[in-house]
Structure 1
Amino acid sequence: MAKSGNTGNVFDIGELRRLVDELGAGPREARAAVLEGAVADNEDCDCPSCGTDALTFPPVELSPDGELAASVLKVPLVLDAQRLAAWTGTREVSPENLLPDPFLPCAELGLPSPARLHLLWVVAVNTGMLRVSRGVAAPGPLVLSPGLPPEALLGFWDGVVMDVLDRADEGLTGSAVVDDHLAEMLATLYAVGEGLSSATLVKGILQSHEVACEARPAEMRALTVALPGELETALSLLGYCGLIEPSQAGWPRLTPLGIWAVRQDLLREGHDAPTGAEVAAFADLGAAELVDAIVKGSAAPSAVTVWLESRRPEVAARELVKVAVSGTAGLRGAVGRILEELGPEAETPLREALSEPAMWRYAASWLHIRDLPAPDLTPADSTWLTVDSLASLIHLGNVPEALCGFDALEPGEDLVRLVEEMALVDHPDTIAVLDLLGAHHSKAAVAKSARKAAMKVRSR
Structure 2
Amino acid sequence: MAGRSRFTPDQQPSEAAGLLPADYDLADLYGAQSGEEDPDDTAVVVPPIALPSDRELADAALAVPLISQVIALARWIAPHRAVDEHGDLVEEDRVRAARVLGVEDPDEDDVVEALRAWALACDLDLVETGTTDEGAHVAIPGPDLEAVESGDPAAVLGLWFEAAELVRELAAEAESVDPEVVEGSDSDDSEGLAEVEDARDQAAEILDEALHVLYETAAFAEPGAETVPLGVLAALLVVPDGAEPDEEMLGEITDLMVVLDPMLGDLAELGLVEHTPIDPDLFEEAEGDGGDGGDGGAGGAGAADGDGPLSDEDAARFGTVRLTPLGQYAVREWLLADGYDAPLIGDLADSDGPTLLRTLAENGQLFAEAELKAWVAAREPLAAARELLAGGRGRDVQSPVRRYWCVVGLGELGAEAAPAVEEVVDDDELGGLAREWLRARGADVDAAERGVALWRMIDSMSAVLLISAGEGGRLQALVADLPVTDNPASYFGEVWRVPHPMTAEILEIVGELHLDRKVAKEARRAAVKARSLRARR
Q: Which has the higher helix share?
A: 1
Q: TM-score under structure 1 normalisation?
A: 0.49
Q: TM-score under structure 2 normalisation?
A: 0.43
